[in-house]
Amino acid sequence: MTQRLHLVFGGELVDPAKSTFADVNDIHIVGMFPDYASAHKAWKAEAQRTVDNAHMRYFIAHIHRLRDEEQAGSVTEELGR
């Protein structure tokens, strides 16, 4: 079974029209989820919880896309990390 991991995170942005966080130390990591449906549910809950703050944004990162299983190795592996 293929895992399709998704990370949900967010925080306050410098400008609501951009995706630059005001303070990366304050990024809220909601969690890692095994599929898009559960990640979307968590994202929606956090987005609704912070709806009154126009500078708050939450994102879903498709972690499974960071590694292409068809490739021999990732750039990180080539760097020895």
pLDDT tens figures, 12-53: 999 999 999 999 999 999 999 999 999 999 999 999 999 999
Per-domain residue ranges of the chain: 6-78
Is the model's pLDDT at 74 over the cut of 70? no
**Looking at domain 6-78, which CATH architecture does it have?**
2-Layer Sandwich (3.30)
Tell me the pTM: 0.78
Taking Cα atoms as reference points, which of 73, 66, 60, 64 lies closest to residue 30? 60
CB-facing half-sphere around the CA of 5: CA atoms within 13 A: 7
What's the rounded Cα separation, in Å, for the pair 62 and 80? 23
Give the chain's end-to-end CA distance (angstroms, integer).
26
Q: Would you place residue 64 in the very low, low, confident or very high pLDDT band (cuts 50, 70, 90)?
A: confident
The predicted structure's pLDDT at residue 81: 47
Q: Between residues 47 and 1, which one has the greater pLDDT?
A: 47
